[in-house]
Amino acid sequence: MRELADLDLIDWSELEHAYGEAADVPDLLRSLDGDPEAFGDLLGALCHQGHRYSASAAAVPFLAGLVSKTDDPPFVLSVLMSLGYLAIGEDDINSFPATWEAQGTADADATAAYLAVQPEIPSLAAFIAHPDGMVSSAAIWLVSWFPALTSQTLPLVTAAPASTPRTIARGLLRDPSILLTDAIAPDSVPFTEPGAQARAVTDPLHLSPLGDVLLSGSGLSASGEPVDSADPEVAGEAWPEAVAAMCVDPSESSFDRLAACARLLREPELTDPTIPYMQGDVAKILAAALRLAPASRHSEAKQAIRIIASRLKGSGTVHLTRILEELTP
Cis peptide before 147 (omega within 30 of 0): no
DSSP 249: -
pLDDT value of residue 329: 62
Give φ, ψ of 220 to 5 degrees.
-130, 150
pLDDT value of residue 205: 31
Identify any residues that bridge with 271 across adjacent strands, giving them in sequence order: 281
Between 92 and 49, whose confidence is greater?
49
> Is residue 316's pLDDT more than 90?
no
Report the predicted TM-score, pTM, of the whole model to 2 decimal places. 0.83
Are 229 and 214 in contact by the 8 Å Cβ rule? The answer is no
Max avg pLDDT among 85-99, 126-140, 224-238, 288-302: 126-140
Instruction: Count the Cβ atoms, other than its own, within 10 Å of residue 152.
Output: 13
> Is residue 223's pLDDT more than 50?
no
Could you give the CA distance from residue 260 to residue 270 in angstroms, rounded to a whole number?
Answer: 14
Lowest mean pLDDT segment, chosen from 16-30, 115-129, 196-210, 282-296: 196-210
Could you give the CA distance from residue 317 to residue 176 in angstroms, rounded to a whole number?
Answer: 32
Average pLDDT in the 211-236 region? 42
Each residue of 231-268: pLDDT tens digit? Answer: 555 555 689 999 999 999 999 999 999 999 998 888 78
* Banded model confidence at residue 168, pLDDT cuts 50, 70, 90: very high
> Is residue 7's pLDDT more than 60?
yes
Each residue of 259-313: pLDDT tens digit? Answer: 999 988 887 888 899 999 999 999 999 999 999 999 999 999 999 998 888 888 6
> Is residue 23's pLDDT more than 90?
yes
